[in-house]
Amino acid sequence: EVQLVESGGGLVQTGGSLRLSCAASGFTFDDYAIGWFRLGPGNNLEMIGCIYGGDGTTYYTDVMKGRSTISHGRHEKAVYLEMNTLKPEDSARYYCAADQAARMRAGVIVGQAANRVRFWGQGTQVTVSS
């Protein structure tokens, strides 16, 4: 059973940084890609980016490009999202989601990864105070 558990959310001041973690289990890490998404007050689910477990290739959308870094620890089967220069509009619930690399890639190509990825964590709340 695929399981994803996010952690690291919390309250941070504008301009601050935060590192989110996603602990993954139930699948072969090398065969999957794990993405980070967020759902803000407007209920708009946005993709931040993803990392492919096989070779560590990363992809970023424009949502937080230049202010975020996705990495993974293959030994501990975890994926991380480091965010900096946070703004109040970054306040959202942040989710990691995983699927087979090809499925993630296909979703990214058409800009529909959020609708294609099947396995989701429960999310972790990030609030950026002004």
- Where residue 63 falls (left for φ over 0; alpha for ψ -120 to 50; beta otherwise) is alpha
61-77 average pLDDT score:
93
Average pLDDT of span 81-95: 98
Average pLDDT over residues 26-47: 94
Q: Which residue has the tokens 């301009």?
A: 15
Give residue 74's pLDDT: 79
Average pLDDT, the chain: 95
